[in-house]
Copies of this chain bind each other. A is one copy, B any other.
Amino acid sequence: MKMKTEKLTVFAPATIANLSCGFDVLGLALDGIGDILHLELTPEPGVSITRVTGADIPLETDRNVAGIAGMAFLEAATGYSGGVRIEIEKRIAPGSGIGSSAASSAGTVWGLNQLLGEPFGLPDLVGFAMKGEALASGAAHADNVAPALYGGITLVRSSHPLDIARVHCPEALHACILHPQIELKTSDARKVLRTSIPLSKGIRQWGNVGGLVTGLFTEDFGLISRSLEDCIIEPVRSLLIPGFDTLREAALAAGALGFGISGSGPSVYALTHGADTAEAVSRALGKAYDAIDIPYTLHHGPVNRRGIYSINPNT
């Protein structure tokens, strides 16, 4: 296996899974917010996580999503007998609902792939990163790792077998995130879901998924806006997020195309047409949450269109 370099630093973006109607299938990558991973090949086999800053996360390989994803990669990379040393700057708060574990898992396998001369394609990398996701959320989902790796907007048509497609992402599409500083674990957020749904709501949901995908391909922002609706998961899960309805009202009043829960929460997201509206919506979300006695962080920016990338490829 050809080694391009022995060290690499990568930026792995935060992601919004679901996009309201597309529960468990749609996802979008964010620009300007993500984890930074420093990787260095080692002669010793295995994954060694030497340092994590920004979050209180175990360094043990088998208790760290990056460790598990990295091990899955190395086991498949039969031409390479060495290992990797990783330092992680967690800039995405764990448990925030914007793909914190996915960014570290995906960043690790993407970085390793670069260091070893790209032996694997993106679908393979998604598969390795999903092993990390299984540790984080109790299920091997691809709806955060797929957009992190592919960039833009992705559709996971099927997880088993894995079938991922890129959905066109209009350049004007921007995203806002408000992260209320409360704890809400993915595994807990899944527990509140009912295991069966009315057929009529299912029809409404897949009509919206079809509408959202059509709107994205045709850059019809009206259709995108009308399709950003979740009649199944959100009515239950939003009860776990203080101030959800107030935030929605504020986002829509400020011109958001749509508003909903990012992944399994507690972060909420809004999509907008253009940067100015994103800024206005972000301000409106902050103002609405100032009235509620919960600390929060805000982010807004364009969609990340290239996925994970190397920050200093030549060092």
Question: What is the interface of chain A, defined by CB distance below 8 A to chain B?
Answer: 21-26, 155-158, 163, 165-168, 193-200, 202-215, 217-218, 220, 223, 226-227, 232
Please give, as numbers and ranges, the residues of chain B lying within 8 Å of A215 by CB-CB distance. Answer: 165
Number of copies of this kind of chain in the complex: 2
A22 smallest CB distance to B (angstroms)? 7
Contact B197 A163 (CB under 8 A): no
Contact B168 A206 (CB under 8 A): no
Chain B residue nearest in CB terms to A233: B199
Contact A202 B204 (CB under 8 A): no
Please give, as numbers and ranges, the residues of chain B lying within 8 Å of A193 by CB-CB distance. Answer: 199
Contact B155 A214 (CB under 8 A): yes
Please give, as numbers and ranges, the residues of chain B lying within 8 Å of A23 by CB-CB distance. Answer: 203, 206
Please give, as numbers and ranges, the residues of chain B lying within 8 Å of A196 by CB-CB distance. Answer: 196-199
Please give, as numbers and ranges, the residues of chain B lying within 8 Å of A25 by CB-CB distance. Answer: 203, 206-207, 210
Please give, as numbers and ranges, the residues of chain B lying within 8 Å of A194 by CB-CB distance. Answer: 199
Contact B210 A26 (CB under 8 A): yes
Give Cα distance in the complex from A165 to B222, angstroms.
11
Contact B21 A206 (CB under 8 A): yes
Give Cα distance in the complex from A155 to B204, angstroms.
12
| In the complex with contacts A157-B227, A195-B198, A206-B204 CB distance below 8 A | no
Extra pairs beyond A158-B204, A165-B215 (18, CB < 8 Å): A22-B206, A22-B210, A23-B206, A155-B210, A155-B214, A157-B207, A157-B226, A158-B207, A158-B211, A163-B211, A163-B226, A166-B214, A195-B198, A196-B196, A197-B199, A202-B202, A209-B209, A210-B213
A267 smallest CB distance to B (angstroms)? 21
B163, B202, B217, B223: which contacts A205 (Cβ < 8 A)? B202
Please give, as numbers and ranges, the residues of chain B lying within 8 Å of A217 by CB-CB distance. Answer: 168, 213-214, 217
Give Cα distance in the complex from A158 to B217, angstroms.
19
Give Cα distance in the complex from A202 to B205, angstroms.
9
Chain B residue nearest in CB terms to A23: B203
A191 smallest CB distance to B (angstroms)? 13
Please give, as numbers and ranges, the residues of chain B lying within 8 Å of A163 by CB-CB distance. Answer: 211, 223, 226
| In the complex with contacts A197-B196, A197-B197, A232-B202, A211-B155 CB distance below 8 A | yes
Please give, as numbers and ranges, the residues of chain B lying within 8 Å of A207 by CB-CB distance. Answer: 24-25, 155-158
B165, B220, B226: which contacts A220 (Cβ < 8 A)? B165
Q: Which 8 interchain pairs have the tightest Cβ spacing?
A: A157-B211, A206-B206, A217-B217, A206-B209, A25-B207, A202-B202, A213-B213, A155-B210
Give Cα distance in the complex from A289 to B269, angstroms.
53
